[in-house]
Structure 1
């Protein structure tokens, strides 16, 4: 049985504290125009600088929802539970919330439609011990999967901030996570967005209870030989707001001249 590779990592909080920060009025204007409560953060890897709207919120942790499909894929590949991103995995055969989820899929196809049952099945095959180890080695958010292996990223207790999302993605982009490089290359490939050269991303929508739903759009963009990781996080009081995640994220990148 394969294990995650050991690697000495600098704590994410220390990395972020050492970086340069800039609140950007262009981002604030976009969020105000859309009447959305949320944050957006971009990390320029080359200059180790952060451009942000609402730094306080960007450093607040929320459930990762379907953005957790990124580390879930990496841990599945690193442990050998799934051979590659094209191996077909079962969805389980039960009723699904969305009709397109009711079929067996590879990680490549499942991540595109955010197939929750396929990824819950993957998590069960990984098991809690290896999942917990992966979270710790990735230093992913609060690193707490609780006791239920197939819902902790949807309902909690796992939480991560927008800034921590960018730190995690920095490592994925740089081949700096403690997993085989082939696993990282495979996951990067399935995050590539059609119609946008150099854009890699994943959405998320969580309903943890005790407040509004939480929306995400995280990823990175390659521009003129440089890489910028980003994370959008917002409150979702209704479906109309939920539909704004990707358009608002793209508009934010465009405002910064990155898309």
Structure 2
């Protein structure tokens, strides 16, 4: 592995965000509170809604599967995204998680037990070094290697999520180029008009309110726009609001 040193322990740097008040209406229409942030890849300008919340850290939940995949491949804990990992045989929240899967499929259906197995194979020491090298949020991996992104102490802000995705897209993370390319390829995608949304969702149930995430990048023409969105959720019924708000935001003329 070629993990390099990063800004260990540093607080997140303040970010100047171009606030677009009209985007707030998309959150109001589905009766939720949240934030949306997108970066212009040419200028580096951050624009979106609710900059105060965009700077606040939350538990990343399954959005961490992107980083977990990177660390797993880089350390050799998994040979490839097509190597099948065991789910463990125990009942799961969703029946589709009750199967052995490769990362390529596991990230698509957000299979928690597969990524917990990957984390255990990585191990506590290598995981801590990997998360720090990626400068991922507060970089706290705690003492439970297969739960820290679900229950804490790991936390990350929308601003930091956008910066992480930006570095993933531009090969600026301290990992092998083939690792970055492979993970970019397995992230889910959905076509919306003349854009392609590359995304990973997350649902943190360890806090009140629960937090719903969707992070990734918008592909339009020759450009890729990193984004992050999070909302307050009461339960799983609120999950569709994440993509609904995202699509509404990127349709706004002031965004892309």
TM superposition score normalised by structure 1: 0.92
1:250 matches 2:236: no
The answer as to whether partners of 1:132 and 1:143 remain within 8 angstroms in 2 is yes
**Which segments of structure 1 move beyond 6 Å, counting only runs of 4 or more?**
9-12
Q: Following TM superposition, by how much is the alpha carbon of 1:239 offset from its aligned partner in structure 2, in angstroms?
A: 3.1
Residue 198 (structure 2) pairs with residue 207 (structure 1):
no
Sort the Cα spacing of 1:149 and 1:256 in 2 relative to 1 into closer, same or farther, 3 A. Answer: farther
Aligned pairs for 1:1-40 within 5 A:
3-6=1-4, 13-14=12-13, 17=15, 20-40=16-36
Aligned to 1:110: 106
Q: Distance in 2 between matches of 1:28 and 1:66?
A: 25
Give the gaps of 5 or more residues in structure 1.
none
**1:198 alignment partner, one of 179, 193, 196:** 196
Aligned to 1:183: 179
Match runs of 1:90-129 below 5 Å: 90-129=86-125
Checking the alignment, whether the CA contact within 8 Å between 1:145 and 1:157 is kept in structure 2 is yes
- Which sits farther off after the overlay, 236-245 or 58-67? 236-245
Shift of 1:258: 6.4
User: Under a length normalisation based on structure 2, what TM-score does the superposition of the two structures give?
Assistant: 0.93
Residues of 2 paired with 1:253 and 1:84: CA distance? 33
What residue ranges of structure 2 are gaps of 5+ in the alignment?
none
1:233 aligned partner: 230
Aligned residues: 253
CA shift for structure 1 position 225: 1.7
> Contact between 2:167 and 2:173, CA under 8 Å: does it hold in 1?
yes
1:33 deviates by 1.4
